[in-house]
Amino acid sequence: MLGENIRELRKEKGITQEELAVRLHVVRQTVSKWEKNLSVPDAVTLQNIADELDTDVSRLLGEVPAVKEDRNELAQQLARINEQLAVRNRRSRRIWTVIAVVFALLILIPAAGAFFGAVDYSHHVSEATTLTDDPVYTETEVREAFDTVKTYFNKNYKGCTMESLSYDETASVSEAEKLTGLSADEEALIILTTFKTGKKASDTGLPAETRYKDWKWVLVRTAGGPWRVLTEGR
């Protein structure tokens, strides 16, 4: 498929994902998503990719080279590929959703009594999301990350009150790019939160009645899978 062809040709040229991303004026995660067939570039970007890899669009698409690619026809081909990826990703997402539900039933239900006693449902948690015009992660994916943080917080920060969660894609991607120790098929993002500790010291060892702002949560996932908390703190 298109993603495999981009990856193979990039490696043949000895170019890293970061280098190709810089040349195309995108972030590395965007190149990673193309190569994993999680998204497709538009017609103009596809032509730029072909130019950077010293090949033609037909070869990237896995076709016999034509005399000249018609842009309208190329856009139609990309639209078909994108629809195929969307169907596959929806199927994959449904599978992961089922797995997540089963996991929640097996792990979280036994602690339901303590959980419901700790959560203050009268308190509203504000959520803020800022995405670029060409988002690395969709708003749905970011909301899933928010939910992961809230679930982890409610389980491990008993007695504390979450006030807000925020995600700024530009800042998050820039910092996530600097993370080390991630495998090639892992993606990361960073969520910031504001919360207060209760009248008693929390299980985390934080002092009582203290407000924390911009508490950082680094979340990672295998592409298409559920988010998990990697690190937390200021």
Is residue 123 located within the same domain as residue 205? yes
- Specify the pLDDT at position 116: 45
Asked whether residue 91 is domain-assigned, the answer is no
pLDDT tens digits for range 44-96: 888 899 899 998 888 888 764 444 455 566 666 666 766 666 666 666 566 66
Distance, in Å, from the CA atom of 169 to the CA atom of 189, rounded to the nearest integer, reads 8
Is residue 75 located within the same domain as residue 128? no
Distance, in Å, from the CA atom of 97 to the CA atom of 90, rounded to the nearest integer, reads 10
Residue 110, amino acid? P
Is residue 174 located within the same domain as residue 76? no
pLDDT tens digits for range 167-204: 999 889 888 878 878 887 888 999 999 999 988 776 67
Is residue 156 located within the same domain as residue 217? yes
Look up the CATH number of the domain holding residue 69.
Answer: 1.10.260.40
Find residue 221's DSSP bridge partners.
Answer: 187
Distance, in Å, from the CA atom of 205 to the CA atom of 203, rounded to the nearest integer, reads 5
Could you tell me the pLDDT band of residue 102, with boundaries at 50, 70 and 90? Answer: low
- Specify the pLDDT at position 63: 65
CA dihedral 84, 85, 86, 88 (to 10 degrees): 90
Is residue 78 located within the same domain as residue 119? no
Is residue 79 located within the same domain as residue 145? no
Asked whether residue 107 is domain-assigned, the answer is no
Distance, in Å, from the CA atom of 206 to the CA atom of 209, rounded to the nearest integer, reads 9
Could you tell me the pLDDT band of residue 38, with boundaries at 50, 70 and 90? Answer: confident
Is residue 141 located within the same domain as residue 198? yes
pLDDT tens digits for range 107-165: 665 555 444 444 443 357 899 999 887 788 889 999 999 999 999 999 999 889 999 99
Asked whether residue 213 is domain-assigned, the answer is yes
Distance, in Å, from the CA atom of 82 to the CA atom of 88, rounded to the nearest integer, reads 10
User: Which of residues 62, 83, 104 is at a domain's end?
Assistant: 83
Of 1-10, 19-28, 111-120, 151-160, the poorest mean pLDDT is in 111-120
Q: Categorise residue 46: left if φ over 0, alpha if ψ from -120 to 50, beta otherwise.
A: alpha
- Specify the pLDDT at position 42: 85
Distance, in Å, from the CA atom of 179 to the CA atom of 184, rounded to the nearest integer, reads 12
* 3-state SS assignment for residue 232: strand
Asked whether residue 209 is domain-assigned, the answer is yes
Percentage of the chain with pLDDT > 90?
33
Is residue 118 located within the same domain as residue 228? yes
Percentage of the chain with pLDDT > 70?
72
Judged against a pLDDT cut of 80, whether residue 13 lies above it is answered with yes
Number of domains in the chain: 2
Contact 190, 231 (CB under 8 A): no
- Specify the pLDDT at position 74: 66
Asked whether residue 105 is domain-assigned, the answer is no
Is residue 13 located within the same domain as residue 121? no
Is residue 120 located within the same domain as residue 226? yes
Is residue 46 located within the same domain as residue 146? no
pLDDT tens digits for range 195-234: 999 887 766 788 889 999 999 999 999 877 899 999 998 7
Asked whether residue 221 is domain-assigned, the answer is yes
Is residue 149 located within the same domain as residue 199? yes
Could you tell me the pLDDT band of residue 166, with boundaries at 50, 70 and 90? Answer: very high
Angle at 132 between CA 152 and CA 45, to 5 degrees: 125
Backbone angles phi, psi at 37, to 5 degrees: 60, 35
Question: Which domain does 10 fall in, by range?
Answer: 2-83
